[in-house]
């Protein structure tokens, strides 16, 4: 059974419901990574029917975009490309993109690293300062008219910021953190996007590895892996311990599937979801993730059981710091 496809909001793009997130490259915040493994992960994803690939200009300081550009060479049509802009050059609360011309120049850099003349979707990667919001909206709009973007949106968990960003109705898609451990978007962002025909790209469906079920109270993380904060920072450590308890309650509910597959199918079960983008460093991780889309979907009864662990609209998330 092939991966099911869904429409990505106003872009009209038909995307396989499971994509590939490309944050975990060499030089990023996820510890050690290998270019060959990353490129083989992209190949495996293509082989399994994935067509949506998400990156950013700050993942490995542009290295993620460069790797995706290498993978796309000579076959751009097989890829629906999503990238982000905003954090590069951000300093002391001030955006580097203070004018439309500067933003457009920044997007041109995205295009160069990706070795392409257009993007399928680009996201505003920051939600502050609000004074630069207009720069992103206007700049993206100009690039869309030039044919360099099929759509644009933002990466956020801030509902009020989203509504302001979409004031003119031009927002095509939103990238949000959503998982069994963080159901807060169900209260506002998900229904709003469904009403406004805004595509939903779901990041963090495995809660940065927690919902893969591989961590314990004794887990430790490599230098360069931001998840060390879960151990070293008291406020995040407390949340980490609480989430580990929830994960143990979820394990018995993953009948006929792995815990990670349960987590991915949970995000796919919401009708507002367009595509889920779990990250992967190698082909084996890709195969494990994409296989969730080849299984029968969760039943209403199974979804109801998950509410005993995290109620509708509830939960908390851990942010890198």
Average pLDDT of the residues in 231-245: 92
Instruction: State the sign of the Cα–Cα–Cα–Cα dihedral 219, 222, 227, 229.
Output: positive
Q: Reply yes or no on whether the pLDDT at 139 is more than 60.
A: yes
Predicted pLDDT of residue 267: 98
Which residue of the set 59, 97, 152, 178 is catalytic? 59
How far apart (Å, rounded) are the C-alpha atoms in residues 64 and 126? 18
Structure tokens, 190: 């998900």
Quickly list H helices, 54-168: 63-72, 100-114, 133-145, 159-165
Pairing verdict, β 5-7 and 52-54? unpaired
In the annotation, is 59 catalytic?
A: yes
Q: Are 29 and 226 within 8 A, CB to CB? A: yes
- The CB density around residue 146, as the number of other CB atoms within 10 Å, is 10
Predicted pLDDT of residue 204: 95
Predicted pLDDT of residue 182: 96
Pairing verdict, β 5-7 and 14-16? antiparallel
How far apart (Å, rounded) are the C-alpha atoms in residues 259 and 76? 34
Predicted confidence band of residue 66 (pLDDT cuts 50, 70, 90): very high
Average pLDDT of the residues in 207-233: 90
Kindly state the greatest CA–CA separation across the chain. Answer: 54
Average pLDDT of the residues in 273-288: 96
Mean pLDDT of the chain: 94
End-to-end CA distance of the chain: 40
Rg (CA), the chain: 19
Angle made by CA atoms 79, 82, 83, in degrees to the nearest 5 = 130
Q: Are 175 and 157 within 8 A, CB to CB? A: no
Q: Reply yes or no on whether the pLDDT at 318 is more than 70.
A: no
What is the reported pTM? 0.95
Q: What structural domains and CATH numbers belong to the chain?
A: 5-208+257-301 (3.20.20.100)
Average pLDDT of the residues in 22-38: 90
How far apart (Å, rounded) are the C-alpha atoms in residues 261 and 54? 20
Tell me which DSSP letter residue 296 carries: P
pLDDT tens digits, residue range 178-210? 999 999 999 999 999 999 999 999 999 999 999
């Amino acid at each position: 059974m092939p991966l099911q496809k869904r429409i990505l909001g106003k872009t009209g793009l038909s995307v396989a419901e499971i994509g590939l997130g490309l944050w975990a490259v060499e030089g990023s915040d996820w510890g050690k990574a290998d270019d060959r493994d990353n490129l083989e992960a992209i190949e495996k994803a293509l082989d399994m029917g994935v067509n949506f690939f998400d990156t950013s200009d700050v993942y490995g300081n542009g290295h993620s975009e460069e790797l995706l550009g290498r993978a796309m060479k000579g076959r751009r049509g097989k890829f629906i490309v999503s990238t982000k802009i905003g954090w590069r050059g951000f300093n002391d609360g001030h955006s580097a993109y203070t004018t439309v011309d500067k933003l457009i120049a920044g997007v041109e850099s995205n295009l160069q690293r990706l070795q392409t003349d257009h993007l399928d979707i680009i996201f505003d990667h920051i939600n502050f300062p609000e004074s630069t919001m207009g720069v992103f909206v206007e700049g993206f709009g100009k690039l869309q008219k030039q044919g360099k973007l099929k759509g644009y949106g933002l990466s956020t968990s801030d509902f009020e910021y989203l509504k302001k960003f979409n004031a003119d109705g031009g927002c095509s898609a939103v990238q949000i953190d959503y998982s069994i451990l963080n159901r807060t978007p169900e209260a506002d962002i998900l229904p709003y996007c469904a009403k406004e025909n805004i595509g939903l790209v779901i990041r963090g469906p495995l809660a940065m590895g927690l919902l893969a079920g591989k961590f314990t109270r004794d887990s430790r993380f490599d230098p360069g892996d931001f998840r060390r904060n879960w151990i070293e920072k008291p406020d995040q450590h407390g949340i980490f311990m609480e989430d580990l308890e929830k994960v143990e309650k979820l394990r018995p509910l993953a009948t006929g599937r792995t815990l990670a597959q349960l987590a991915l199918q949970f995000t796919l079960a919401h009708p507002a979801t367009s595509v889920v983008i779990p990250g992967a460093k190698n082909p084996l991780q890709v195969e494990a993730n994409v296989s969730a889309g080849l299984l029968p979907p969760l039943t209403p009864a199974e979804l109801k059981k998950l509410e005993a662990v995290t109620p509708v609209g509830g939960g908390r998330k851990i942010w890198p710091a």
